Structure formats: C-alpha cells, structure tokens
Structure 1
Amino acid sequence: MTPAHASAAVGLALVAAVITGCSSSGSHSGSAASAAPAGAGNAGPTPAPTESNPPGDIPDNQVYVAYRPAGGFTGFTVKVPEGWARTGQGAATVFTDKLNTVRVSTATVAAAPTVDSVTNTVIPQLKSQVPKFATPKVTEATRHAGRVVRLTYQGDSAKDPVTGKVVRDAFERYAFYRQGHEVDLTLSGPVNADNVDPWRIVSDSFAWR
C-alpha cells in the first residue's frame, strides 16, 4: 500500500468510528428516555392517605360509664364518656376531652320547663354568656326518661390558653324535669364533628333514680 492509500484508509477508519460512536450514544439516550416512564410505572399507584377523624369526632369505640352525683340533688344517673376530665362548676359537673364537653347541672324549679319558658328565659341568658350565640331552636323531644325540652344553638368556644384558637361549637341542651327538680344536660363540640350517635347515647342514658 502506498503512503497516500494508507492515509486515506486511516481517515476512513476515523470517520467510521465517529459515526458509530454517535449512533451508539443516540441509541443509549433513547433507551434511557424510554426506560424512565417504565421505572415510574413500576412504583405502583400512590397509596391512599391514612384516614383520620375530623377534630372533635368521638371514636365509635368510646366506652361510657354511669355518673351519679355525690352531692346536691342525687336522684338521677347519666352515662358519660369514660376517661374524660371531670371538674365542678357550682351546681354543674363538667366532663371534657379535647374539643368536646358534657355539662350536667341541677336546679330546684316551681314548674316543668316548656318550649316557651326556655325560649323566653334560657335563650336570653345564653346570649349574654356564650360568645357569638346564634341559631337557637327549641323543640320538644322524647328520650328514654320521657319528655324533654331540647335547645340547639351555636357559639364560640373560649380561647385556647396555649394556641389562642377559638372553635365554633354546636350545642344540644336537654331539660329533664321531675317533682320540682330540673336537670339540664348540655352537650357540645365542633360544628363539623359528627357526634350524633354519641350525644344520643348520653341523652338517652339519663334516668331518674
């Protein structure tokens, strides 16, 4: 082979190497690009978020225990959620847990409560006591203990001393009466909480002794 022919052969070999390298690089790039979606698909569907109850929801497995007052008028019992903190507030006993409250108060009265008496007497009192009191509704209802006067309304909770937050609460107040004694059972929790069943358990558990 002459020197000229040798130089030409070397040049052709270099060109072929460059073309082969580019082709190989392009092939790998295409493989990587097509592999990415396949890899993403192999990760599987996004797992469902862990379920949690809205704030204020009382668990379905909540246990209830009988409360029997030790002082004052003691002629009744009512079931309250087990484990809730208990405090005394004058003639009332209050059970609380997180955002929910059960309040039991007693009074000696001359006559049984009626829709009119609750509307004309209790509602004005609550307006002066409950921040942003609203949407009161008074009806007669029946529980296991008999006929009661039921008052529902909304209001703001007291400001949390740690977080400073205020919660919009829904209230159910039941007025039970027998032989000059009235027992008022007030149940409250956040407006969006689903506590229909727990509050029914508590209000239906009330019994005269």
Structure 2
Amino acid sequence: MTVTKIRLAAAIGTGALLLSGCGTTPTSPGPAPTPAQVTATSTRAAAAASSVGTPAPTESNPPGDIPDTQVYVPFTPSGAHVSVKVPEGWARATTGGSTVFSDKLNRIEIHITKATTAPTTSTVRSTDVLRLQGSVPKFASPNVRTVFRAGRPVVLLTYQGDSAVDPVTGKVVRDAFERYSYFHAGTRVDLTLSGPVNADNVDPWRTVSDSLRWTP
C-alpha cells in the first residue's frame, strides 16, 4: 500500500470515530407513575369533564345481593295500623309519611297515606307512573300487574331508574324497583324495594312484601 492510500484510510477511520461520538446518548424513561399520581390525574380529568356539564355515567356496580343469613324483624310505623318485616340492622330514616331502610346499595321505603279507594292497575298506570317519570332519573320499563301477597291481591309496579349520585364516590347505580300498593280501611301503603339491576334479591323482596299485616 502506498503512503497516500495509508493516509487516506487513516483519515476515513478518524472521521468515522468522530461521527460515532456525536450521537445523542439514550436517556432512561424515568420511574413509572405511582398509583396516587394516576388517581390524582383521573380525579382532575373527572373534575374537568364535570365543569363542562358532562353527566355522570351510569355504572355497573357490584350486585349488592342481600345475604341468605339476613334476619328480619317486624316494624310498625308510628301511628299506623300496619306491620312490615324489614332487615335487622339497616339504617332507618323517617320523613313525613315515609320511612326508609337502607344498607349499601339496597333500599326499602314504606309510604303511608289516607285514601278513599283502593289502587288499581289502571290508576297506577295513569297516576303513579306519570308521577314517577317526573321524579326518578332515567325512569324506564314500567310494568303494572296484580300479584298476591299474604293471600291478598295487591298492585305491583316494576320499573328501572338511576340512583342519586353517591356523595363520596360520585357514582350512579342503575336500580330495579318493585313498588307494591296495599289498601285497607282507608289506608294505602306503598312499599318500594330497590337495588342494583344485577342483584339477586328475589327471595328477600318476597319476604318483605309478603310480610305486610294490618293491625288493630
């Protein structure tokens, strides 16, 4: 090899080394975000959506089944001549003629009023359904029929609707409702049982709705 070729090869080699040294050294991606940082980001995103009027979505929640071991105790509203078995240990609240028992995602409401005539499937369709459409969020799928409870015919209205927004989680539950209307001697009792649509509360709701008794 001639001196000129040796010098050219050396120059090319030196240039290649200089070019390889000019590349950018890769940087590490850094630590993954912590669960707290992910939660904070989600919370800020939800708040931003709320601020522009985005409605809270209806969510699919745990079924909320009432356990088979649940104990029921008789309850008589103050001043009323009626008794209903309710789950023992549930929270109770009374407002006017309504008493509400609740536990987690399930709810029982006993509403007592004076009436001159007994409710019928026709009056429940024409009056009660319209009233509930205006008070129950996303009211849907009303069905009215006569069933027997405690050996007597009563009017049953079933429907679906959204629960109130949970003040802690901000979540909404899609509820299934069973509303039984009883009548005796000028007194009407509307017994409303509700819980998540996917809950299997057939037996507990049958126990409660079949337990109503008129007392002296």
Aligning the two structures, in what range does the TM-score lie when normalised by the shorter sequence? 0.7 to 0.9
TM-score (norm 1): 0.72
Q: Counterpart of 2:116?
A: 110
The SS at the match of 1:55 is coil
Structure 2 residue 61 is matched with structure 1 residue 61: no
**Aligned-partner Cα distance in 1 for 2:63–2:200:** 10
> What residue identity is the alignment partner of 1:122?
D
Partner amino acid for 2:200?
A: D
**SS across alignment from 2:198:** coil
The match for 2:155 is: 149
Q: Distance in 2 between matches of 1:153 and 1:55?
A: 17
In structure 2, what is the equivalent of residue 8 of structure 1?
A: none
Q: Which residue of 2 aligns with 1:140?
A: 146
* 1:163 counterpart SS class: coil
Q: Deviations over 1:8-62 (max 9, x none)?
A: xxxxxxxxxxxxxxxxxxxxxxxxxxxxxxxxxxxxxxxxxxxxxx431000000
Residue 130 of structure 1: aligned partner: 136
The letter for the 2-side match of 1:129 is S
Correspondence for 1:32: none
Q: Distance in 1 between matches of 2:93 and 2:76?
A: 14
- The structure 1 segments of at least 4 consecutive aligned residues displaced by more than 4 Å after TM superposition are none
Equivalent-residue separation in structure 1 for 2:178 and 2:127 (angstroms): 17
**Corresponding residue SS for 2:112:** strand
Note if 1:207 corresponds to 2:213: yes
Q: CA deviation at 1:180?
A: 1.1
Matching residue within 97, 100, 105 for 1:94: 100
Is 2:125–2:144's contact at 8 Å kept on the other side of the alignment?
yes
Q: Partner amino acid for 2:83? A: T
- Helix, strand or coil for the counterpart of 2:170? coil
1:145 Cα deviation from its structure 2 partner? 5.2
| 1:164 lines up with 2:170 in the alignment | yes
Does the aligned pair in 2 maintain the 1:144–1:205 contact within 8 Å? Answer: yes
Give secondary structure in 2 for the equivalent of 1:107: strand
Give the unaligned 5+ runs of structure 1.
Answer: 1-53
What is the aligned-residue identity percentage?
Answer: 60
Q: Which has the larger radius of gyration?
A: 1
Q: Structure 1: how far apart are the matches of 2:185 and 2:90?
A: 31
Deviations 1:96-132 (A, max 9, x none): 0000000000011111000000000000000000000
**Are 2:193 and 1:190 equivalent residues in the alignment?**
no
User: In structure 2, how many angstroms separate the alpha carbons of the residues matched to 1:129 and 1:160?
Assistant: 17
1:106 & 1:145 partners in 2: Cα distance?
Answer: 21
Is the 2:146–2:154 contact (alpha carbons within 8 Å) kept by the matching residues of 1? Answer: yes
In 2 relative to 1, CA 104–145 (structure 1 residues): closer, same or farther, beyond 3 Å?
farther
